[in-house]
Amino acid sequence: MKTIKKYLVATSAIALGCLTPSHAGTLAFDNFNTYPINVTLDGNNGGSGFGGAWASSSPSFGYLHIVRDNTVTPASELSYPGYIATSGITTLGGAYANFAGGYDGPAYMDISRQVDVSGAFSAYNSGGTVGSDGTTLWGSFAYRTTFGKLNLMLQGGSGGNLYFPLPVNDNANSLYIYKIQFGAGDADTIEFFNNPTLPFNPGSTPTSTSSGDFSFTRVGFALNGDTHEGRIDNVAFGTTPGDVVISNSSATPYTTWAISKGLDPLTDGAPNFDKDNDGSSNLSEYAFFTDPKSGSSLPAMNVATGATDLTLTYLRAKAATDVTYIAESSTELMTWSPTGITDVATGIENADTAEYRVTVPRDLNPKKFARIKVQLTTP
């Protein structure tokens, strides 16, 4: 786990830090909201965790393949019951990728983009492809087939170009989740969950399962027939199901807070993300009741040094019920221990915060450091 620290210095030193959740979080995400409206997606680069722009196999038919569209009414957007998709909006928002093929153009069309194998997906890197033995990758996206067939496409691996047909859903908005388990000797499995009940149960029976070599370097979508059309939104990859889909019924106090601040829990609202670049992660801002969008919003605390002990008085956010606060001390900022430290409420509180005081015995040491780690208690 990664610890993010802030340091306050008195006669003795106080270090304030936070501990992020144990999982790696969302690896890649694209909700198409940053692209120009009603243009071909080919050549556009947005989202996070990817290694390049979207690229089409038929760029000369740009008016036929994929465009971004937010001109539809909310009732026509790609919504899915209970799905928190973009900054807390339970519909998928007025931005999606629209696929159309076969209209006076080629019957087969695709568009895809590189994933960042050396960056966001480095833990899955196997010779330059995503597919390291013994790893598990989750993916999700929302889709709607207007008519015809649409395929999920994984490219660039040793198994060649892979196509997975999506169920024809006759203009119904759907959620698609998939799990790839990379086995030894390219003995991989992929499980698909179409329109799962939310909150998603990863132990539920998959809609379908396939075996093969599913390594890849590019992800995309393909149409392989005349006059086929469909829509895609919120393409996500992560290490756990919770990294790729959050539902209203499974939202934690942390995700509810992130949404209330206008942050997307899967991207700029992730616990280990520092939205305002002030050195404090979103989790730290949440735990100590500061503003994740303001670099000048800092934890309220007071440091006092006595003859026998060191005290740090600080505020906890009362709404952060899924956070564990752990006070520790050190004499050299390397070895930390909670032994002998007290961290108790002072009894002073308001509607939003409660005051706590950490007391650290000095033990005749000329230097004494303390830190508070904050850790989400939910996965």
pLDDT of residue 197: 87
Q: Highest mean pLDDT: which of 53-57, 120-124, 358-362?
A: 120-124
pLDDT of residue 17: 34
Question: Is 173's pLDDT higher than 60?
Answer: yes
pLDDT of residue 209: 97
pLDDT of residue 243: 84
pLDDT one-digit tens code per residue, 226-261: 667 788 888 999 998 888 887 777 778 998 898 788
pLDDT one-digit tens code per residue, 203-215: 899 999 999 999 9
What average pLDDT does this structure show over 268-294?
91
Question: Is 32's pLDDT higher than 60?
Answer: yes
Q: Which of 13-22, 162-171, 292-301, 360-369 has the lowest mean pLDDT?
A: 13-22
Q: Highest mean pLDDT: which of 72-76, 85-89, 90-94, 157-161?
A: 157-161
- End-to-end Cα separation, the chain, in angstroms: 13
d(CA 126, CA 214): 12
Question: What is the percentage of the chain residues whose pLDDT exceeds 70?
Answer: 80
Q: Is the peptide bond before 106 cis (omega within 30 degrees of 0)?
A: no
Closest by CA to 165, choosing from 146, 149, 188, is 149
pLDDT of residue 227: 64
Question: What is the percentage of the chain residues whose pLDDT exceeds 90?
Answer: 40
Would you tell me how many other CB atoms lie within 10 Å of the CB of residue 8?
16
pLDDT of residue 35: 75
d(CA 98, CA 143): 10
pLDDT of residue 66: 52
Long-range contacts, stretch 57-62, CB < 8 angstroms, 24+ apart: 57/108, 57/109, 57/110, 57/111, 58/105, 58/106, 58/109, 61/105, 61/106, 61/109
Question: Is 58's pLDDT higher than 80?
Answer: no
pLDDT of residue 46: 85
Question: Is 88's pLDDT higher than 50?
Answer: no
Q: Given pLDDT bands bounded at 50, 70 and 90, which one contains residue 201?
A: confident
- Average pLDDT along the chain: 81
d(CA 296, CA 5): 17
Computed over its alpha carbons, how large is the radius of gyration of the chain?
A: 24
What average pLDDT does this structure show over 66-74?
46
What average pLDDT does this structure show over 320-335?
91
d(CA 84, CA 252): 12
Question: Is 285's pLDDT higher than 60?
Answer: yes
Higher pLDDT, 34 or 369: 369
pLDDT of residue 107: 63
Domains of the chain, start order = 3-21+297-376 (2.60.40.10), 26-250 (2.60.120.260)
pLDDT of residue 81: 74
Write the DSSP symbol of residue 284: H
The burial class, CB within 10 Å (0-12 / 13-18 / 19+), for 366 is exposed
The H or E element containing residue 227 is none
pLDDT one-digit tens code per residue, 92-145: 445 778 877 665 555 677 889 999 999 999 999 999 999 999 999 999 998 988
Q: Which of 190-199, 258-267, 345-354 has the lowest mean pLDDT?
A: 258-267
Share of the chain residues as helix, strand and coil, in percent rounded to the nearest 5: 10, 45, 45
Backbone angles phi, psi at 41, to 5 degrees: -75, -25
